[in-house]
Each structure stands twice: as C-alpha cells, then as structure tokens.
Structure 1
C-alpha cells in the first residue's frame, strides 16, 4: 500500500494496514448497498429524523428500538400526553413517527419526548433535535421548534479555503468578548472576526458549537449533536457568522466531538429509551475512565448513520469548511491511549486497536470529502498512529492534517525544566519539524489546553506575576523582557517550520494573562476568567500590543513566500554551543540566537549569493525589543572562491542575544 511504499518500516504491518482498509471498503459497500447510492446519500439522516416542517404540516421521527411508547409533549399540549401527539412504531426498524397538521405546532414552542419502555419511563430530548434551549431560571433543557418563516439567505454559497499555509485562529464564541458574560455569535461576528482578519489568519476553528449541558466542559461533553449551542444565539446568527467569515476570506472549521458523549440522560443520549447501550458500547467499554463520559459503539450501523449524518449536517446546513476531530487517540485504542507509551511501530498494531472506530474515521473522511472536496479535516491525535493524515486510497485514514502535539509539549518541557543557556538548537530544530514525510500537520506552541485552569500559557510560565505589575511600557523587569523575547522566538521557530498549518488560541498571540476558568460554583459562577481582555492589546501603554503587532507581522512574512508550506526546509547552520540556528525556506532565511547572554558580531553563514533585506526582527523596538541591530541595512554576501561554483557566499550578521531575524533575498 502507498503508506508502506513511502515508509518501509511499516512493511511488517502491511497486512494489518490492508485489513483496516479492506474493512472500511467492506463497510462502505454494505452501507451503500453495493454502490446503489453514495455514502453522502446514506448520511441524510438529519433530513429524515427529528422534527421537520413539510408542505402539509409537521413530521417527527426518532430511532428508539427499545421504547414501547413515545409521546411528544410541549407548549402545544400543555406538556400533557395526548393521543393526538402519540407516535407510531415501525416494528422492523425501531423508528417512531408522528404526523401533525400545520396548526398543531408553532415556531418557537418548546417540546420533549415522554418515552416508555419495559420497566420504566423518562423525559427525553430527541436525539436528532436541531435546536435545544436551556431555561435561564430552572436550568432545564428543552428542544425548540425551529422553522422561521424566512430561512437564512447565504451571501457566499461556495468557498475555497486558503491552505498554503493554513493559519488557524482557535476560538470560543462564549468567551470571545471583554465583558464578564457569555458572548454571542453576533458579538463575535461584529467585534472579534474583524480582528482575526486584520491579524492575517485565514481560518477560524470554533469550539463548543454542539450543544452541551455544562458550559465549563469547553463543549466537549456534548448532549445534542445536531443543535448549535443556543447559549450564543440562534442558528441563523451562526450562519451569518460563517457567511461573513467567508466573505472576508476566512475558512470556518468546527471542533467536532464524536469521540464520546455526555452521560446525562434527560439532555443527552445516555439512556434514550431504556437501553443504555443504544448508542454506546456495553460493559466496561461503555464509560470513558478519564472523561466521565460515554463511548460510542462504532460497530452499529445506526450509530454510523447518526455520526456520518452529523458530519454532513454541519457541512450542508451551516457551510462549515471542515472539522477538527477531537479525541482521536481515545477512539483508536481500547485503552483510549491511557498509560501507553507508543515507542515503536508494533505498539500501533498489537491488537488493542478499535477496528470499528478506525473504520468510522475512514468513512467520515471519505464522506466529508465527498460532500465537499475542498473540506479540511484535522485529527487531534497524540499517539502518532501512522497513516492518520495519509490518503485513504494509500492505506491511510484520510485526514488532511494531524495536530503536531509534540511541539507544545516540547516547549513547555523546555521552559519548565531547562535554564536558557541549555536550550539546544539541534533539539529545537528536530522537534519543530519532526513528522511523517507523507502527512501534513498543524503546528502550534499552545492551544486552549495550555490556557485552562491547572496549566499555564507560555507567557504565564515566562513572566508569571510580573504580568500584573510590570507590563506597562517603561516599567518592564528583566523577567518581562525575557518573557517577551522568548514568546516571540518560540512562535517564530514553530511557524517557520510548518508543513501544513499553524494554530494559535484566541488571545495567546498577545500573551493574554491568567488562565481560563469557566463559571462554576467554586468561583461564584463568575465569567471573569472566561473572557478575552481585548482592551489589553488595544492599550498602547502596555506591552501586550508588542506581542500582538509581532504576531501580525510574523504571519505577513510567512504569507509573503508563495507556496510556503511546499518549500523545503534547508538547514544552513546550527551550533549548540553558540545556541545559533539558521535555515532557509525559499527566499526566506531564519536565524535564531537562543543564547540569553551572548550576542555575535559578523556571524557568518553560507547562503545563495546576492543581497538580503531584514523583513522581521524579534528584537525590533516596535515589538518590545532593544533594537540593537539596524534593520534598514541591506546585507550582501561576501565572495569566497571555494564556493563560487556553488553560487554561494558568506552572509555575516550581528545577532543579539535572545533574538531571531528573518531575511529575504532581494
């Protein structure tokens, strides 16, 4: 298979790789009945199940094979069970159906199911509900009839994401505003989106879109998979956000959660109709041991139908440009990857892999690219499973990118454990470009994970409490100067070595202070730490704007090199004793001095002969540096007879301590 040809070390495991591939092909053939229809047609469940307004009234359907009776109750019948709202069962499929006249239900009304089964009953929200709302007084969730008279009219119907490079701004709608409250889709569209456009990102990756009962779960304990979170506004307001983003050239990636589901029964799928295993594995595999959640049974066709339809729903109905799949490692292994080291290839093929989940991921990527061949899929996966971001036809899983989760771990470990004088350029260079040759990655220094309570962002690790007392320009301590310098260098090193995309979490580009702590009982249900303080980066008297300005200029430099991610990374020089690293990509040369105390004059590198201009310098005063070098000087290579035939010469630079510079060949 293709991935084995490119990596001969996989040869001993080719039969396992082919077995997984063939399993997915077999399941694809089964689901499409031998190709009688497409996988996309199979994934139309959201158009069939749930509550829908039709030309002659309303139709409601739910899959609940263990139920003995289902009633629809709501505002329209005073929440009482009546014959008129009693569903009928299809004995063969386990589907329940209810047809109602036009005047039986109105847009905006609330409803639920009363479900009966042998030995019990319960109040439930339909699994396929597309609108779910929480009562602000009681905290109780209900489905809501959603069929506005004037459906949203899209301004942009077809969008082609920019992917060379893909520059992702990871964000959360609720915490995207300065005020101590839950933000809205409209506020994000009006106030935050313009910032993202101005900063130079070309994609946003939105968290917590699928409805979740507990706000503090960051959207990862999903209850209603087809309902955009009503905390932030209406479905039309989410569509307007996506539409405006597309109009501004911004792709919109959704953080989708198919790795597990919330355990809640009244709001979620935990016990929809008396069968706790309707959607989930049975026995010990049902509950996730670390996440307090439930694990989908990917071996059931009905579950595949539910999840694949969910993928298509968000693409078609909300025009998302793709997905970042959360928790892929947890899906791949029976152990969820917990307590495993993954030291060699054998660890990926020793029989502890969930073939059903692997099959689902292959089918999901096939479906997504069938629905939209420009869609982007990203795997959040930490074990290093080979082939995850390789094409399905080559034996891969079909993701377009995988998260380079080694990089933030490396930076955190380095900052925590090594004094500055022990930072080794050879180690740094290896880590920021360590990936499989046939798989594209999304590189990042830190995501939302590093900003949560219990962890620390890079700026907080570097500066700590001095952020509160010495981040005013002119009052910086040595710790602040060091933190600002390294914050920029770490980011520049990471983005300069990407082979697919780069990701930044909202606010981290300007060193947003403190941690993220969602409103909860322990903090008095305060939103003080679940917001973004844009006033800090907007204040010209504070150091935050140095970091924000640098980030903007850094992205501009990366984008100035056409086809940046396709240009090879060519090492020019590294010296661990000097703590100097230099490499080129196309017409750009990146030079780093990680030394905290040694500046170098006339430090020479052999580069293609010609003249070079400085296009970015972390030590520039405009970015909070000392401005030791004159960046207006044009740098010419010096002739060396030994390298004349190679058309190379010596480029000699002044490189201040703890700084980095980018030059471009003129």
Structure 2
C-alpha cells in the first residue's frame, strides 16, 4: 500500500468557490481531517501551495522524514496538494515540508488550517477534532436578546495570560480554571460580555496575541480546543457573551508561519508597499486575492460557528483602510482614483460583514478604527462597511486628556468633554478604555488621575460614572475595574492584593453597580445609538465645571437625569432645568461612602418647582457632591 493514498474532500463546486473567493467554510476541506477511507482510519491532508515543486507531510509518525509522505497536486490549477495517510491519529504532530520552485529551497510550515498547535515555543501543528457536546442551546437561541444594539453591552477586556496566574510559580491558569474563576468574577461584577484579546495561536508572548500563526487554533498555552469550548460554554451558562479579538490586518514572518508560504508571496501582498507593515514589522494580507479572502472570511465564520463566539472585534482596521497608513511620501501608491483608500480592503471588509450577518443571528462585529472614515458601522446596503459597532477613539482620547488636568483648570477645557456629543450618533460607538491605554508609559487609568489619593479615586469613580452615562456601549480593560495602580504587565498577574484596600474595593463596587444600572435602566441602553436618546440640560457651565443631561428610553417615564461635577467643590443649591413637574429621586451617586466617597448625597426626594431655568419651565435645586456623577429619576 502507498504511504499516501489518493483521496479528496473537494468537489468541483468547492474549487470554484475557492477560486472565486466565496468559499467560507474552507476549514472543512483544507487542513488535517480525521476520516475513514476504505474502512481504514487515518488523516486527510490538504494545503494550498500553488507554486510549490513538491509538498510532503512530516511529523512524529515518520520521524520528520522529508519526501516520505508526498501529497499530490490537484489537476484543476487550484494549487491544492492533498492525500490520505492511513493509521495516523488524533494527537499526531506534523508540518508541511514544502520544496519551492524558486531555487528548490525546502521549508517546514505549520498548517494554516490546523485546529490545534504545539505549545510554544514548539511550532508543529497537531491533528485534532472539534467534537464537543455543547450545553448552551438556551443562550444560542436567545442571544439576540443580549447582543442587540438596543441592549446593555458592557465588555470586560481580558488578556488570559495575565488576568490571574498561579501565585507560587507564575504559571498560566488553564481554560478549565478560567471556566471557574473568570466566569464567576465577570458574573459578580456584572459585565454583560467578555472580550478575549487574541486566543488564536501565536508564537511570541510580547505580541499579546496580535501576531497570529494558528488562525484556526486556540492557543495551547491554556489547554486544548475542547477546554476552550468549555470556557465559552460556561460563560454562556452564566449569561455572558463572548467576543473574540480577530486580526486580519497583519501576520508575523516567523519561518513556520504564513509568510512566503510556498516560496512565493502567497498570503501577503507581493508589493512591499502594501504587503509589509512598518509599525509591527509584519506582513499584510493580499485582500485582492480571492483565495486569501476565502481563508480570512472562513476563519471569521469558523470561530462563530465552532466556538459559538457572539462577536468579533476586528483589530487595526485603520491600518487596513489606508494605503499611506504609517508610510511616508513615496512609500505608498495611490489607488486607481488617486486616493489613499485601499479599495481591496474596503471590498473585503464589506464582504466579511455581509458573510457574518447573513450566516449568524444575534452576533456583532466591532471595528477598532481610529480615523474619521465614514459609515464604518452602517449597513453595506447604504454604502457602509457593515460593522455593528466602532470604537470611539476620539471620546477616549479627549476624555482621558481632560481627566488628567488639575481640577482648577478644567473650566477652560469643558469643550473636550462636550465635543463628543457633536458626532456621537454618526456611528454606533463603543466607548473603550482598553489595554492600549495602560501600557508604554501611559500609566494605569487610576495613575493618570490628578490630586491626592482621595481625589485620584474620586476622579476615577467620576470617569467611570461619566462613561456609563454617556451614549454608547462600554469596554473596560481588566484591572481598571478595581483601580489597578501600576501599568499592565503581560508577564504577571493583575494586582489582586489591592482589593484589600477600601478605595480599590470601592471602585469595584462602583463598577458592579454601574453595570447593574446600565442593565436595569432602559434609558441607558434602548436608544444608546440614537439622538432621540440624549438631550442636554446644560453643557455651558464652564465656570463651575458642571454639566447635566437627560438619557431617554422608549418610554418617557424611563428617562434619567445625569449631573456631573468635575471639581472637588461641593455645590449646594445647584439649580437645573427639568422637563416636567414631580419629584427627583437619586438612584446613583459616585460619591457614596460605599465606594470610598465622602457620602454627600441627595437623600430625600427633591421637589421640582414651576420655576423656569435652563430654557425649561421647571427646575429643582440639587446638592452636588465633589468630583461626582449623580443620577436621578422623576417620579
């Protein structure tokens, strides 16, 4: 019997779809698949390598001997090499030994479609299956009730390698341990979703996962694919949605990876002006190549289908959209219309979003896009890119810039805060305080706050209160929810010991209550992307550094009144205009003693008077706590 038996999982229709860039379940055909041929169990291998001279499978089953298990190239010019190797089984480690037509050089490449990889620093692929008995049917059938744009969407961003480690030896936790500790913690603090920084296999820890090699394999640092599925299952059981960071923007040039895969620029663009990223010293996908589009869109749908992900946050979209991104004059070439937009990328992103939303109900795609590129979160049918949401980087930058200022100067910079409301409804914005804001000398979020210790934490509580009251969905990086003092260190655990101190425990209680308020007050989520859901009361009281506004839901009775005092001066008898008669009841106060505040509050119901103010017929006098957000309802 031949060592490699002729066998194929491809139909002519599969090949046509692949060549056209329309095969979105390519992972069912390419890669290593456990199959039975003529009653013999083994593995079918298929790899795309159109310019290779020969391809053989090497691994522990043949002592890594090149040329012993040669695959056959298909006759249809697809560039796919395939074959069935009998008797090898799940757990076998392997690579493709590819001899190039370009000088005959031989390289060993990991399988681009491998479902599992060796634990880094080892680099081989592992034959595996995706068998798992899911228990999240109830979640999957109703998740549109959790993921809709009119639902509360509060995201806890997590880097699994550094959320928590074993104290005795700094070992990683496993997926199974996360399924207990992390799930319980997210449930306790009330976040609606978790976002995992990339969990696809990556070789280099300092990349934080943003330099991927195994696009179809959850990293083996924490366990095997089924154990990651269990983690997702447990999150769904707890009512928590799962968002995965996805990186279609670039990939590393590691010898075993996608770069120069078959001796040619197979996955990366052959023009270095488009195929190399100067910021990250990495390679950029060729979005105009149909087979590459099939690879990427198949990958996106793979995580939504086989791992029940509820959303994908797409990294570095701005770097994909512009031909001149991080490039000097002469280092880029304009598009056919003379512009700087990458037309292939725009087409790809639209097709990606259309494929996601047409194949899966109740999911969201979220763009990390930092420019003013129009209609990122608008449907492709009206000319948009088709994302569900977009990160509001302008809000993040302006807000942090404002909060770092000493309170005495804030009256001169109130426009830094109010400016966001001039464009906040131009996209479906998510407000992010992400990992990028707590590294590289920026300090932690808590570390940026001015003043003495009390003022720092009061400012931090004010920042979070303002964030949750501002229109849009929310994202907070791990550790921020308890006021981590130091910058994030990916090589160790978060500083959990800080929770023994009242100020840090108070911040955690505040975030927990803000999540509860966001979920239980319809006015804070039902119209979070609509101008109908927001109305200023007064944004021009620069002198006192106070601003007030109304958030609205579908029902008038659900409206909430928000008043922010951005200085440490207590302001008694502070009058604001209101829309109707009644009584004001304080439902949230970031200065509460429970959070570490001074306890200044409006403890009694406040009578709304028929006294014109702020251009309204009615008004009331409030007591504004120092450095605080106060939230009221009208009864």
Other-structure match for 1:638: 609
Other-structure match for 2:622: 653
Which of 65, 90, 105 is equivalent to 1:107? 90
Q: 1:97 to 1:40 in 2, by over 3 A?
A: closer
Q: Distance in 1 between matches of 2:309 and 2:592?
A: 39
Q: Deviations over 1:330-367 (max 9, x none)?
A: 00011126679xxxxxx9x9611110011000000000
CA deviation after TM superposition for structure 1 residue 240, in Å: 0.8
SS at match of 1:231: coil
CA deviation after TM superposition for structure 1 residue 178, in Å: 4.5
Other-structure match for 1:536: 498
CA deviation after TM superposition for structure 1 residue 181, in Å: 2.8
In the alignment, is residue 609 of structure 1 matched against residue 581 of structure 2?
yes
Q: Distance in 2 between matches of 1:648 and 1:32?
A: 68
Other-structure match for 1:502: 474
Q: Deviations over 1:586-617 (max 9, x none)?
A: 32111111123x32211111212111211111
Q: Deviations over 1:406-441 (max 9, x none)?
A: 122113322445654324574244244343535211
Structure 2 gap segments, 5+ residues each: 1-12, 330-334, 553-558
Asked whether the equivalents of residues 34 and 89 of structure 2 are also in contact (C-alpha less than 8 Å), the reply is: no
Which of 272, 279, 291 is equivalent to 2:268? 279
Q: Deviations over 1:159-215 (max 9, x none)?
A: 515242211111111212143332322222210111111211111111121111001
Q: Distance in 2 between matches of 1:546 and 1:436?
A: 30
Asked whether the equivalents of residues 609 and 647 of structure 1 are also in contact (C-alpha less than 8 Å), the reply is: no
Other-structure match for 1:44: 25
Q: 1:339 to 1:562 in 2, by over 3 A?
A: farther
Asked whether the equivalents of residues 420 and 594 of structure 1 are also in contact (C-alpha less than 8 Å), the reply is: no
SS at match of 2:467: helix
Asked whether the equivalents of residues 74 and 81 of structure 2 are also in contact (C-alpha less than 8 Å), the reply is: yes
Q: Distance in 2 between matches of 1:659 and 1:436?
A: 23
Q: Distance in 2 between matches of 1:252 and 1:664?
A: 32
Q: 1:110 to 1:277 in 2, by over 3 A?
A: closer
Q: Distance in 1 between matches of 2:406 and 2:598?
A: 24
Q: How many residues align?
A: 585
Asked whether the equivalents of residues 447 and 504 of structure 1 are also in contact (C-alpha less than 8 Å), the reply is: yes
Other-structure match for 1:133: 118
In the alignment, is residue 220 of structure 1 matched against residue 210 of structure 2?
yes
Q: 1:123 to 1:662 in 2, by over 3 A?
A: same
In the alignment, is residue 233 of structure 1 matched against residue 226 of structure 2?
no
**TM superposition score normalised by structure 2:** 0.87
Structure 1 gap segments, 5+ residues each: 1-30, 341-346, 464-477, 519-526
Q: Which moved more, 1:271-280 or 1:220-229?
A: 271-280
SS at match of 1:134: coil
Q: Distance in 2 between matches of 1:278 and 1:612?
A: 61
Q: Distance in 2 between matches of 1:614 and 1:190?
A: 36
Q: Which moved more, 1:156-165 or 1:120-129?
A: 156-165
CA deviation after TM superposition for structure 1 residue 110, in Å: 1.0
**TM superposition score normalised by structure 1:** 0.83
Q: CA RMSD in A?
A: 2.5
In the alignment, is residue 582 of structure 1 matched against residue 552 of structure 2?
no
Q: Deviations over 1:466-502 (max 9, x none)?
A: xxxxxxxxxxxx6111110110111111221123x11
Which of 437, 445, 461 is equivalent to 1:458? 445
SS at match of 2:599: coil
Which of 250, 253, 259 is equivalent to 2:240? 250
Other-structure match for 1:185: 175
CA deviation after TM superposition for structure 1 residue 534, in Å: 2.9
Other-structure match for 2:452: 479
Q: Distance in 1 between matches of 2:411 and 2:512?
A: 26
Other-structure match for 2:157: 170
SS at match of 1:77: coil
In the alignment, is residue 435 of structure 1 matched against residue 423 of structure 2?
yes
Q: Distance in 1 between matches of 2:466 and 2:404?
A: 18
Q: Distance in 2 between matches of 1:628 and 1:366?
A: 51
Which of 283, 304, 307 is equivalent to 2:296? 307
Asked whether the equivalents of residues 425 and 580 of structure 1 are also in contact (C-alpha less than 8 Å), the reply is: no
